[in-house]
Structure 1
Amino acid sequence: MPNENERLDRRVSAPDILRAAQNIRPVIRATPLDRSMELSGLVGAEVRLKLENQQATGSFKLRGAANVIAHLDDRERATGVIAPTAGNHGLALAQAGRAAGVPVTICLPRTADPMKIAAMTANAAQIEFFDGIEEARQAALAQAHQGGARFVSAYDNPQMIAGGGTVGLEILTDWVDVQVILVCIGGGGLASGIATIAKAINPDVEIWAIQSEVSPTFIRWKQAGTQVQVDLAPSIAEGISGFIEPGTMTWPMVRDRVDRVLPVTEAEIRGAMLWMLDHHQQVVEPSGAAAVAGAIRYADSLAGRRTAAVVTGGNVSGARYRALLQA
C-alpha cells in the first residue's frame, strides 16, 4: 500500500487524458468554443467561451463519469457506484451508469436543485438525502465500505480528473494560440486536468482558476503554498464551494500546474449569469458562470491576451434561476 505522501502525489498525466478522450468519445459531445464579442471588447483581445453547459447532462461532469464507468471491472459493474454530490456529478454518473447497465446510488444534500434530482431519478439512480454535502459524503463512504459499491469522488479520483482534462484537450485542439484558460475550481479536478493537458501541449499557456470568495479553499492553499485551515461560508455556487479533504490528490496538481487561483464575489457570479443571458442567450448555473465572472473582474489583467473561459454547466431550475437573478 502507498503511504500518505505517495497517495497525495499521484498525478494524472497527459497520456491519461488522451486515453480518457478515447474512452468517452462515444458518450460525450465535443462542445463549442465560441467567440464572445462582448468579452473580447472588454479584455481587448479575443475571448472564447467553452460551452460545457451544452454538454450532454448539461455539464462537463459527464466526461469524468463516463471515464470512471469505462474503468470498472466486472465486479464493480455488478455492485455499482455510489457518490456524494451537489447535483451535476450525480447526474453525470446516473446517465453514464444507466447507459452501461451499472447501478448508481447518489447521496445528496436536501438543498439540491429539484431539476437535478428529477433528472437523476429519470436515469434510474437511487437517491438518498442528507442535511449537507459533508454528511452525504460520509454516508457514501460508509455505504461503499459496507456494501462494496465503488465510491466515486467528484474530484479526488484519477479517472474523473482525466475525463475533465479532455475539456482542455478540445480547447487546445480548436485554438492552438490560446494564452490563458479560465476555469472555475471547487475540488480542483477540472482545473487539474485542464492544466495537465494544456501545459503538456503548450507550457506557456496559463491556467487561472476562479473560486467564490466565500469558500476560498484553493485560494488560501495556493497563497500559503500548503494546506491550511480555511473558514467557509455557503455560496450560491454550490458546485465550487464547501469542504475539500486535505488529502485530495488534486492539491499537488493545483499547486504546481495551475498558475493563479482568484476570487470572485457572489454578486459577480450573479452578474455573470445575467451577462450570459443578455449577451449570449445562454442559461448558466452559478458554478458554471464563475469563469465568466473572472474574465469580467480581471479584464485589465487579461488585456491583450487570447483567453478561453470554461462555462462548466447550465443545470438550474427556472425558479432558482429567477430567484438568483432577482436577488
Structure 2
Amino acid sequence: MELVRRADVEDARRALAGVARETPALPSRVLSDPAGGPVWLKCENLQRTGSFKIRGAYRRIERLDPVERAAGVVAASAGNHAQGVALAAQLVGTRATVFMPAGAPLPKVEATREYGARVELVDSLDETFVAAEAYAAETGAVLIHPFDHPDVVAGQGTVGLEILEQVPDVATVVVCTGGGGLLSGIAAACAPAGVRVVGAQAAGLAAWPPSLAAGVPTGVAGATIADGIAVSRPGDVTFAHVRALVDEIVTVSEEALARGVLRCLEREKLLVEPAGAAAVAAVAENPGRWPTPLVAVVSGGNVDPMLLEDIVRRGLVAAGRYAALRVRLTDRPGYLADVLRLVGRAGGNVVDVEHRRLVTSAMAPGTVDVALTLEARGHDHRATILAELAGAGYDVTAE
C-alpha cells in the first residue's frame, strides 16, 4: 500500500486554507516540570466544530468529482466526525446524511443538524456503520470514512505541519488514537523530519497493541469513557501508516483519562473531552519517558455537560480529592457529631452524609453505618483523615 507522503499533506493544507483554523500550541508548565523539558499543547479543541475532524472530512469531500458531489455524502459517527462531515459538506456545497447512535450526546446531534446535515438515529454505534453503508449502496452517496482513507489521513496530517512550524525543535509528538487517522497523518508529516511520534490509546478499548503484535488489524472488545477514540479495529490504511511511521503506542487507564480532563480544565483552562485528553494523560503518566520539546495533541473539546460532571468527579476521586468513606458507629446520640468533628479537625470538607440503618449480618446489634462523601487535598490528606478516624476507635473503610 502506498503511504501518504508529506507532499500530500502539504497539498491538503493548501486546500484547507480558509477552512481549518491554525490552532495554537500553548506551553504547559504543569507538564513541563515532570517531563524534564518544554511540553506544548496543540489545541485542536479550539478548531472549527470543536475537533480536528473538519480537516480530514473537508479534504476528502472537496476532492470528489461533480457526479459524486451531486450524489451527496454519508457518514457514521458518535459526534466529532459527524460535525466535521456536516460542515465540510456545507462548505463544498453537497448534501450530507449522518447516522448517529440514539445515545449520542444531544449537543453533538444538534450541532450536526445545525451544520446542515440530515441526522438519522439508530440503536447503537456499530449499527451506524451498517446503516451508512446500506444508505450508500442504495442512494449512491459517497461514504466518508472517519479515518481509513488517504485523503482523510492527509487532511489530519496538517496538524503535524502546524506543529513543525510552531515548535521547530519538537522532538516528540504524542497523539491520541482510535482508528488512527490523526496519528497516521501527523506521522506522515512529522516522521520524515526525525520527530518521534507516539500514539496514546484508551486501555479499555485498545486495538493497536494486539494489532501491531499480530501484524494485521485485529478487533477487540471493551469500553471507554473516551467515545471519540472508541474504535474496536484499526483500518487497513491507517494500520500501514502506523506500522511504518509511528515509534510507539501506549495505553492510558480510565482514571488517567479522567485526571487528564480535570488537569486540562483546572490547570490549563481548556475544556477537553476524554479522547482529547488521552495524549495529556499519557504524558502525565509517563514523566520523562520521551525526549523534549514535546507536543501533546489535544484533539477535541466536544463533551456532553452531563458526562463532564461524571468525568470531573472521577478525576477528583482518582486524584484523592474526592472520597467516599463508610464508618460503623454505635447507634447512640453524639457519635455522628464526633465523627464529623474529627473529619473537620483533619481538614476534610463533608459533602454528603447518609445514615444507613439497614441491618446486615455483618453488623453487631446497636451499630449503624454512616456513609460520608468528602473533599480532601489528595491521597496523603485522605489517608490522614482515615487515620484520624481509626485512631479514635472507629471502624472506617474507603468505598
For the aligned pair, the TM-score class normalised by the smaller chain equals over 0.9
Q: Is the 8 A contact 2:82 2:98 kept in 1?
A: yes
**Structure with greater contact order relative to length (CA < 8 Å, sep ≥ 6):** 1
Letter in 2 for 1:208: V
What is the deviation of 1:272? 0.3
Q: Is the 8 A contact 1:115 1:317 kept in 2?
A: yes
Match of 2:269 among 281, 286, 307: 281
Q: Is the 8 A contact 2:217 2:236 kept in 1?
A: no
- Is 1:33 equivalent to 2:25 in the alignment? yes
Unaligned runs of 5+ in 2: 315-399
* Structure with more strand by fraction: 2
Q: Is the 8 A contact 2:60 2:152 kept in 1?
A: yes
- CA-based RMSD: 1.3
After superposition, where does 1:39-78 map in structure 2 within 5 Å?
39-78=31-70
Measure the CA separation in 2 of the matches of 1:178 and 1:240.
25
Measure the CA separation in 1 of the matches of 2:218 and 2:85.
31
Match of 1:253 among 234, 241, 248: 241
Q: Is the 8 A contact 2:219 2:233 kept in 1?
A: no
The worse-fitting range, judged by mean Cα deviation, of 98-107 and 182-191 is: 98-107
Q: Is the 8 A contact 1:212 1:264 kept in 2?
A: yes
The worse-fitting range, judged by mean Cα deviation, of 38-47 and 225-234 is: 225-234
* TM-score (norm: length of structure 2): 0.77
- Is 1:326 equivalent to 2:318 in the alignment? no
Match of 2:225 among 236, 247, 269: 236
> Which residue in the other structure is 2:258 paired with?
270
Measure the CA separation in 2 of the matches of 1:19 and 1:153.
20
SS at match of 1:280: coil
Match of 1:312 among 273, 279, 299: 299
Match of 2:11 among 6, 11, 19: 19
> Which residue in the other structure is 1:209 paired with?
199
Measure the CA separation in 2 of the matches of 1:118 and 1:228.
33
What is the deviation of 1:243? 2.3
* TM-score (norm: length of structure 1): 0.93
Measure the CA separation in 2 of the matches of 1:229 and 1:191.
17
Measure the CA separation in 2 of the matches of 1:240 and 1:279.
24
What is the deviation of 1:109? 1.4
> Which residue in the other structure is 1:154 paired with?
146
Letter in 2 for 1:326: R
Give aligned-pair identity as a percent. Answer: 36
- Is 1:109 equivalent to 2:101 in the alignment? yes
Q: Is the 8 A contact 1:134 1:243 kept in 2?
A: no
Measure the CA separation in 1 of the matches of 2:292 and 2:41.
14
What is the deviation of 1:130? 1.9
Unaligned runs of 5+ in 1: 1-8
Cα distance change on mapping 1:144 and 1:67 into 2, 3 Å: same
> Which residue in the other structure is 1:133 paired with?
125
